[in-house]
Amino acid sequence: MPRPQIDYSVYLVTGRELLPPGKSLEESLKGGVTVVQVREKTTETGEFVDITRKTKALCDRYGVPVLVNDRVDVALAAGVAGIHIGQDDMDPVTARKLIGEDAILGLSVSTVAEAEKAIQLPEGVLDYVGVGAVWSTASKDVSKKVMLGPSGAGEILDVIADSGLGGINARNTPFLLHGSVSPLKNNSLDGVAVISAIVSSSDPEAAARQLSDQVASFKRANSYDMPPFSAFAPSGGDILGSMLETVGELIHTVRKTTPLVHQITNSVVVNDSANVTLAVGASPIMATNERDCVDLSKNIGSLLINSGTITDETFKGMLAAGQAANVNGKPVVWDPVAVGATAFRRETGQQLLHAFQPTVIKGNAAEIGALANSTEVSARGVDSVGRLSDPAALVRKLAKERRCIVVMTGAEDYISNGTTVLRCTNGHPLLGLITGSGCMTGSIVACFLAAARTWFLQRVGDMGADEEGFSEQGWESESQLTQGNMLIGALAGVLTFNVAAEQAAKRPDVKGPGTFRAALIDEMYAVSAAEVCQFAKVEIL
């Protein structure tokens, strides 16, 4: 018989010791678990076989295949679909000989070296690999393993294409799926492997369904291939003109819908960031407590995380807010202020990158360079020192690796989605003489991402798309926004801020940085969509 075709989307590893009273495996199956691995580390062989047979009988009713962890003898005795082995268990070639050609065989890998060794096995030995641990987990002993993070999983995916994972829950699954896509070969995960996220839940069915929906939405989104800007201009049309037309529509959308923009920003610019948000027509809320951040997430239009004056308490709020925004499909702008300046900022920056998926990363040359591991520029406080030889290539590379939009601000602004790069040359030297101009730009970009999301969903509704294809809370629409609409949202924010700065600098009442700051807020309020599009200096590289 041929080996069974398995859907690895939601791969449940059993953990009976974690089950809350009155809960059962069947609830998880009802929620959408697609494959079950029976894992019993301390059970005697006879009981292990009995448990596996009972699990198989239940799973057969739902058409869900069963695998056994480590034990070939138990798998053969219970008649299940196959086994999963670790690096310290029986070697894969011997395991394949024992279980036969018709069974499924999976292998855990946690390093690039282990992945390279796995792909050198004879063809047909392995059916899949499990990559992990991605994050720390209380349900398995991973104390001797390095936590990969999504980007580490992506590096392994450059070596192998088919995977499952461990150490995952509903808060970080969206980031894991999007953040672990391999940067070189665009390989992606087939699913997520979980234990406590479902087994320990007070509502296993709902937990399984949420994970199942997230994986299904990611798979739909990852198969969606939108050529750069094809949604904005017909074949042979004026792509840049169509983009600017959309920028104008987003300016009107912000003022019409007044999106709530949650901002965890640095203490130096809280007042200015709130004021420019109000000036363009959005509504700011500057909450930092982690409990506030989770509760707010369902109602916001977008989230800004600015780590300029990060503290232990605001860091907790950033983690909670970013993860909640991912779960709720809300755009996230991350402004990694001075991320390369100190060891503390480098460490917290990496922790934030491993906690949630940003929609936009916005920073100056030193900040973007630090994230891209460039040595051409360095940080002096919040300023950049040095010059990038090819800024367009750098932002394109980082955007592709991080699966997001990258906005690099400076005398020239560069915006990329990993495929196309836009260069914008609006602005004024007075912006460099006031504190927080870059931070305010992040606030405005967040306003326009919220508008881009609303505009996109309205546009999809006008086209008659069904909810399954474009769920308001699903990652499919978020991923498609990231590929096109979010790029325009970021462009709209950068242009609006910089054109307003040019208009402010022309005013006769502006005598220097102090009067310029006040005039900038006035012009953010007064600038029209027509003016932004008329004075925009943008080129597609």
**Of the residues 59, 293, 404, 439, which is catalytic?**
439
CA distances to 26, 335, 434, 485, 538 from 247, rounded to whole Å, are 50, 22, 26, 10, 12
Q: Where are the beta strands (DSSP E) in 219-342?
A: 260-264, 283-285, 302-306, 332-335
- 9 burial type by CB count under 10 A (0-12 exposed, 13-18 middle, 19+ buried): buried
Cβ partners under 8 Å of residue 244, min gap 6: 533, 536, 538
SS3 label, residue 532: helix
Name the nearest CA neighbour of 294 among 381, 171, 200. 171
Distance, CA of 8 to CA of 27 (rounded, Å)? 18
Name the nearest CA neighbour of 60 among 76, 44, 78, 73. 78
Number of residues that this document lists for the chain: 541
CA distances to 14, 108, 115, 516 from 70, rounded to whole Å, are 13, 11, 19, 68
Q: Is 439 a catalytic residue?
A: yes
Name the nearest CA neighbour of 67 among 196, 94, 78, 58. 78
Distance spanning both ends of the chain, measured CA to CA: 54
Handedness of CA 104, 74, 31, 165 (dihedral sign): negative
Distance, CA of 480 to CA of 225 (rounded, Å)? 9
The angle at the Cα of 372, spanning 474 to 310, to the nearest 5 degrees, equals: 70
Q: Where are the beta strands (DSSP E) in 277-410?
A: 283-285, 302-306, 332-335, 360-363, 377-380, 383-386, 405-408
Q: Where does 135-238 have alpha helices with state H?
A: 149-157, 173-179, 196-199, 204-222
Name the nearest CA neighbour of 178 among 446, 481, 453, 496. 481
Q: Where does 120-180 have alpha helices with state H?
A: 149-157, 173-179
Percent helix, strand and coil across the chain, each rounded to 5?
50, 15, 40
SS3 label, residue 259: coil
Cβ partners under 8 Å of residue 203, min gap 6: 27
Whether the Cβ atoms of residue 440 and residue 269 lie closer than 8 Å to each other: yes
Show which residues are catalytic: 439
